[in-house]
Structure 1
Amino acid sequence: METLLLFCSILSIILGIIQLFFPRLVDSVERYLDQLFHITEHNTISFRRIIGLILIIVGVVLIYSARKNHFILSI
């Protein structure tokens, strides 16, 4: 359980950093997946930076929770 918690927190932080600081990379991946799965164009509002911050916060909270419950001793 603690390994899964640690994995989710690190993954959340990494995805948040990618969304926050590398939006062009996310655009490239999004365009590739649109072409791969033949997704039609849609006009959605992009909240990538906000979602990136939320992912980073979730990751930090998960790590804090794991430390508080003594799942992680070395961080």
Structure 2
Amino acid sequence: MAKPENNSLFNPEILIELANTKMPFGKYQGWLLCNLPEPYLLWFYKKGFPPGKLGLLLATLYEIKLNGLEYLLKPLIKK
């Protein structure tokens, strides 16, 4: 059986970034991304996520919240 490659699509560092990066603009400017409400993420899902790293983070967070996995982020928040 083949071992999974190290360059898999999932990067666990993204979870740490989601738990500690603040929203840079908009209604929820200054909020930690992991604390953004699901309806706001749904709005981005329908309208399109912003380009670049922020878009990747928001799209990942949308999937995490959609699947009820946000509890994975809480222990990663730096005090």
User: TM-score band (shorter)?
Assistant: 0.3 to 0.5
Higher RCO (C-alpha 8 Å, min separation 6):
1
Q: TM-score, normalised by structure 2?
A: 0.35
Whose Rg is larger?
1
Q: TM-score, normalised by structure 1?
A: 0.36
